[in-house]
Structure 1
Amino acid sequence: MVSSTSLRLWVRAPLMWMGGFRWPTIACPPSGRRRKWAAVNKSSLNPLLPLSANCQPAGMPRLFLALLILFTARASADKLEPRVLFLGDSITYGGNWTVYVESAIRAQKGMGRASIVNMGLSSETTSGLSEPGHAGGSFPRPDLHERLGRVLSQFKPTLVVACYGINDGIYQPLDASRQLAFQDGIIKLRLACIRAGAQIVIVTPPLYAPDNRAKDAINYDGVMEAYGAWLVAQRSAGWQVIDIHPLLHQSVDAAKKADPTFIYAKDNLHPGEQGHLFMAKAVWQSLAPMMKWKSDVVFAEGMKLKSLRESSALLRDAWLTQTGHKRPGVKGGLPVAEAEARSAELVGEYLKK
Structure 2
Amino acid sequence: MKNTHIISHSIFLKFCYFSLIILLFSCKSDAQKTTTKKEVTTNVVSTKTEKTTNKKRIVVFGDSLTAGYGLEDVEDAYPGLLQQKIDSLQLGYTVINSGISGETTAGGKNRIDWVLNQKPSVFILELGANDGLRGVPLTETKMNLQYIIDAVKTKYPSTKIVLAGMQIPPNFGQDYTNEFKNIFPALAQKNQVALIPFLLENVGGIPSLNQSDGIHPTVKGHKILAKNVWEVLAPILK
Query: Is the TM value for this pair above 0.5?
Result: yes
1:156 aligns with 2:102: no
Asked if the contact 2:194–2:232 (Cα under 8 Å) also holds between the matched residues in 1, the reply is no
What is the rounded CA distance, in whole Å, between the counterparts of 1:202 and 1:292 in structure 2? 15
Shift of 1:120: 0.7
1:234 aligns with 2:181: no
Larger Rg: 1
Structure 1 match to 2:65: 91
What is the rounded CA distance, in whole Å, between the counterparts of 1:240 and 1:171 in structure 2? 26
Structure 1 match to 2:213: 267
Structure 2 residue runs of 5 or longer lacking an equivalent are 1-53, 69-73
What is the rounded CA distance, in whole Å, between the counterparts of 2:173 and 2:101 in structure 1? 19
What is the rounded CA distance, in whole Å, between the counterparts of 2:229 and 2:177 in structure 1? 17
Secondary structure in 1 aligned to 2:224? Answer: helix
- 5 Å-filtered alignment, 1:177-192, equals 178-192=137-151
Structure 2 match to 1:145: 109
Structure 1 residue runs of 5 or longer lacking an equivalent are 1-79, 129-142, 209-215, 294-353
Structure 2 match to 1:279: 225
What is the rounded CA distance, in whole Å, between the counterparts of 2:220 and 2:178 in structure 1? 21
- 5 Å-filtered alignment, 1:328-339, equals none
1:168 aligns with 2:168: no
Asked if the contact 1:165–1:224 (Cα under 8 Å) also holds between the matched residues in 2, the reply is no
Asked if the contact 1:244–1:283 (Cα under 8 Å) also holds between the matched residues in 2, the reply is no
Structure 2 match to 1:100: 81
TM-score by length of structure 1 reads: 0.44
Cα 1:170/1:231, change in 2 over 3 Å:
same
Cα 1:82/1:217, change in 2 over 3 Å:
closer
- 1:202 aligned residue (163, 173, 189): 163
What is the rounded CA distance, in whole Å, between the counterparts of 1:190 and 1:273 in structure 2? 29
Corresponding letter in the other structure for 2:113? G
What is the rounded CA distance, in whole Å, between the counterparts of 1:231 and 1:217 in structure 2? 17
Deviations 1:251-288 (A, max 9, x none): 568xx6xxxx7353421321122221121111111211
Structure 2 match to 1:20: none
What is the rounded CA distance, in whole Å, between the counterparts of 1:221 and 1:97 in structure 2? 30
Asked if the contact 1:159–1:199 (Cα under 8 Å) also holds between the matched residues in 2, the reply is yes
1:243 aligns with 2:197: yes
Shift of 1:227: 2.6
Instruction: Determine which structure has greater relative contact order: mean sequence separation of CA pairs < 8 Å that are 6+ residues apart, divided by chain length.
Output: 2
Asked if the contact 1:193–1:199 (Cα under 8 Å) also holds between the matched residues in 2, the reply is no
TM-score by length of structure 2 reads: 0.63
Aligned length: 175
- 2:100 aligned residue (111, 121, 125): 121
Cα 1:270/1:252, change in 2 over 3 Å:
closer
What is the aligned-residue RMSD (CA, Å)? 2.9
What is the percentage of aligned positions where both structures have the same residue? Answer: 23
Secondary structure in 2 aligned to 1:119? Answer: strand
Structure 2 match to 1:133: none
Cα 1:193/1:252, change in 2 over 3 Å:
closer
263-272 or 186-195: which moved more? 263-272
Secondary structure in 1 aligned to 2:163? Answer: strand
Asked if the contact 1:244–1:279 (Cα under 8 Å) also holds between the matched residues in 2, the reply is no
What is the rounded CA distance, in whole Å, between the counterparts of 2:213 and 2:164 in structure 1? 22
Secondary structure in 1 aligned to 2:79? Answer: helix
Corresponding letter in the other structure for 1:273? V
Q: Which runs of 4+ in 1 moved over 6 A?
A: 219-222
| Greater fraction strand | 2
What is the rounded CA distance, in whole Å, between the counterparts of 2:142 and 2:55 in structure 1? 31
Deviations 1:21-46 (A, max 9, x none): xxxxxxxxxxxxxxxxxxxxxxxxxx
Cα 1:144/1:271, change in 2 over 3 Å:
same
Cα 1:225/1:280, change in 2 over 3 Å:
farther
